[in-house]
Amino acid sequence: MWVSLSDKIKEQRKLHLCCFPRLSEKGFTLLELICSIIILSVVLTSVYGTFNTGARAWEKGERDIEKIQRMRVIMDLLGREIKSTFPYEVTPSKLDTHKKFYAFEGKKDSISFVSTVPLRGGKKGLSWLTFLVEEDKGLVVVERDALRTDIFKEKDFIDKDEMEVLDEHVTRMRLEYYELKRRRDEGEGQWREHWDAEKKGKLPHAVKVELTFREKGRGEDDEEEFIRELVVPIMIHNKKLRVVR
């Protein structure tokens, strides 16, 4: 049986289509590829933005927690030491001024007193402490041995080498001292900016401490100020230790 050439070509085309389907039926057009790439880019950008925002928020939260914790430690330290103020009596060595007074000096920006809780670990006994804010150093403390130090002579002389930095972020310290009236007819108590224990003849009943912390903000050049306030009662008022100089 004779088969024409055209019939053979048709049969071969059918066989080819059956074995090898058209690419257009299973593939993607150029427009579809471009749309897919655009959608993928938008999704990835959104995911990256969300992740980046979350990471920055996490870092900021960690920094804020660290700042708050550090401020809390400093305030707790001051509160512990001031609360442990000891009524340590001293007597000037001058023959014409044998007036005993408590070793306590309160100013509006510094405070000096004898504490029963030394700062240095392992040290026992009474410590003569002075807290103040030094420029370019922050909050510093000077600790001396109260039993071996002539407080009356050395209280106004502080060597910078003796200063120990507690927190370099503190830029200001403000102090007030509360005097409680013993009799009702004297009126209510009063907060004072200074406390001269030699003239008063007694210790204040409480100390108000206000610290200003300067911390870095969100930007590299941004700075933020935080103010923390604490009122500390002095626990001991009646016990006395007489030391003759």
Q: 165-223, pLDDT tens digit by residue?
A: 999 999 999 999 999 876 665 567 889 999 988 888 889 999 999 999 988 766 666 78
pTM equals 0.68
Listed in sequence order, the residues at least 6 apart from 222 whose beta carbon sits closer than 8 Å to its beta carbon are 216
With bands split at pLDDT 50, 70 and 90, how would you rate the model's confidence at 88? confident
pLDDT of res. 47: 80
5 pLDDT higher than 60: no
Query: Which H, E and C letters describe the chain, residue by residue?
Result: CCCCHHHHHHHHHHHHHHHCCCHHHHCCCHHHHHHHHHHHHHHHHHHHHHHHHHHHHHHHHHHHHHHHHHHHHHHHHHHHHHHCECCEEECCCCCCCCCCEECEEECCCEEEEEECCCCCCCCCCCEEEEEEEECCCEEEEEEEECCCCCHHHHCCCCCHHHCEEEECCEEEEEEEEEECCCCHHHCCCEEECCEEHHHHCCCCCEEEEEEEEEEECCCCCCEEEEEEEEEEECCCCCCCEECCC
**Is there a contact between 114 and 126 (Cβ–Cβ < 8 Å)?**
yes
Average pLDDT, the chain: 78
The more confidently predicted of residues 48 and 20 is 48
pLDDT of res. 60: 67
pLDDT of res. 208: 96
Query: Could you state, in order of their start, the residue ranges of all structural domains in the chain?
Result: 30-59, 60-242
148 pLDDT higher than 70: no
d(CA 113, CA 85): 6
**Is there a contact between 195 and 104 (Cβ–Cβ < 8 Å)?**
yes
pLDDT of res. 9: 58
Reported as a single tens digit per residue, the pLDDT across 91-132 is 765 544 556 778 899 999 999 999 988 887 656 778 889 999
The more confidently predicted of residues 54 and 27 is 54
